[in-house]
Structure 1
Amino acid sequence: MNYTEETYFLDFNNPKIKGITSQFININSKTELIESLYIYVRDNWRYSPFNIGLKKEHFKASNIADKKDGHCIDKAIVYITCLRAFNIPARLHLAKVSNHIATERLEKIIGTNQLAPHGLVDVFHNNKWVKCSPAFNKELCKLYNVDTLEFNGTKDSVLQEFNKSNDKFMSYLEDYGAFEDVPLDFIKETFKSNYPNFYDKYKNLDQIII
């Protein structure tokens, strides 16, 4: 498998993505580049699970770049695309998680605090795959009293299990594995199987804002 290729979803030659990556072309260290791009994606799109799309175009990096916020898969796609622009192998990793804090709005709509699929990023650096989550921006972490995740490709950096008060924050429930490209059909089937009523109600809309 080739984890540096451009695809329909990971369109790093699009001018919108080049507008992002051009800001980092003078960084010579791959470790520093991985870190700088991670921070950019983490903090330049507010995390929001409430703006969802289930059509092909919603998962295209250049379209996500136009948004002011994004859910975990959105932000993972942008980060992977930017890394591949610099020939750094990267792939989407999907999982099922539960969120234990500030989920009242989400639970009221989908009936659970479990999110599936949740998007992570695997990066190949120093001859090994390492995992990260660029989903939660710094402001959100401050709001919910959790440590802001940092990442430079040297070790895994995934969602926070506890907040700073030692209250349960996030749990990983199931690992769906890694994907060379965005697996749209798998994402839709996972969404449908976890939230069948919600899926049937909104599947034909161009955009879901909940």
Structure 2
Amino acid sequence: MSASLSATYFIDKDHPDIIAFSKKHAGTGTTDKERAVSLYYAVRDLIRYNPYSIEPVKDSIKASAVLAKKEGYCVAKAVLLAACLRSQKIPARLGFADVKNHLNTERLKALMQTDLFVWHGFAEIYLEGRWVKATPAFNLSLCEAFNVKPLEFDGTRDSIFHPFDNLGNRHMEYVTDHGSFDDLPWDRALAAMKQAYPKYFETYERKAGDFNAEAARENKG
């Protein structure tokens, strides 16, 4: 369990900004579960989901860097949540899976040229004697723009993407489970993303994208 409590290159739980953020948003709960739930919602809603933010640079995905930018994609937000949890002495690790995303924007779809999101990341938290999954990726306003249910987390049940949206359309389908890790397997994940999305990494203009605005515009009405 010590590995799931330790600081790593990416999960830099001892960074002053991580300590301050985790203390502020752990709430007044007296149990690990209560504090974990509070931190989940802080990372989910205070850090904007931005799939245009993926950079092939190691420093860009350290928890402290994600916190400073106040945005990130699924893996970045999972890394930040894990760091905040470890800062509060709550064991946490990272889980990864390939997911087929049936809800996307036209611009991102054109860049990715697929609806398969490889190495989608989430956190796994050790609470009350077992590991539970927590996915803080989509902030509340983005869920509203896409007309999907926001992922809630109660510290007891796994919080993973819904298979359908509010209208009954397909939303997320988990395809491949890559397992659990005590630190981000950066080289493996980056290699998989570069292979899956060559156009994305060639098009640096993507950084100007506003995924939330695109989702709201395309799903209006």
Query: TM-score, normalization: structure 2?
Result: 0.87
* Matches for 1:119-130 after TM superposition, within 5 Å: 119-130=121-132
Q: Residue 103 of structure 1 contacts residue 113 of structure 1 at CA under 8 Å; is this kept in 2?
A: no
Cα deviation for residue 15 of structure 1 reads 1.3
| Pairwise CA RMSD | 1.8
Aligned-partner Cα distance in 2 for 1:144–1:25: 29
Aligned-partner Cα distance in 1 for 2:76–2:16: 18
Q: Residue 94 of structure 1 contacts residue 119 of structure 1 at CA under 8 Å; is this kept in 2?
A: yes
Amino acid of the structure 2 residue aligned with 1:35: V
Aligned-partner Cα distance in 2 for 1:121–1:208: 26
Which one of the candidate residues 149, 170, 177 is aligned to 2:172?
Answer: 170
1:29-55 Cα offsets, whole Å, 9 max, x none, are 211111100000000011111111121
- Compare the two structures and name the one with the higher helix fraction: 2
Aligned partner of residue 43 in structure 1, secondary structure: helix
* Matches for 1:82-161 after TM superposition, within 5 Å: 82-161=84-163
Cα deviation for residue 27 of structure 1 reads 2.7
Percent of residue pairs bearing the same amino acid type: 37
Structure 1 runs, 4 residues or longer, greater than 2 Å off: 24-27, 195-199
Which one of the candidate residues 60, 79, 82 is aligned to 2:81?
Answer: 79
Cα deviation for residue 197 of structure 1 reads 4.9
1:101-159 Cα offsets, whole Å, 9 max, x none, are 23311111121111111111111111111112100111111111111111132111101
Aligned partner of residue 186 in structure 1, secondary structure: helix
Q: Residue 13 of structure 2 contacts residue 87 of structure 2 at CA under 8 Å; is this kept in 1?
A: yes
Amino acid of the structure 1 residue aligned with 2:170: K
Question: Which residue in the other structure is 1:12 paired with?
Answer: 13
Aligned partner of residue 66 in structure 1, secondary structure: helix
Which one of the candidate residues 183, 193, 196 is aligned to 1:194?
Answer: 196
> Which structure 2 segments of 5+ residues have no match?
210-221
Cα deviation for residue 75 of structure 1 reads 0.5
Aligned-partner Cα distance in 2 for 1:149–1:25: 19
Deviates more, 1:128-137 or 1:16-25: 16-25
* Number of residue pairs aligned between Structure 1 and Structure 2: 206
Query: TM-score, normalization: structure 1?
Result: 0.91
> Which structure 1 segments of 5+ residues have no match?
none
- CA, structure 1 residues 28+129, in 2 after alignment: closer, same or farther (shift >3 Å)? same
Cα deviation for residue 19 of structure 1 reads 1.8
Q: Residue 200 of structure 2 contacts residue 206 of structure 2 at CA under 8 Å; is this kept in 1?
A: no
Aligned-partner Cα distance in 2 for 1:25–1:144: 29
1:143-189 Cα offsets, whole Å, 9 max, x none, are 11111111132111101111111111111111111111011111112
Deviates more, 1:186-195 or 1:62-71: 186-195
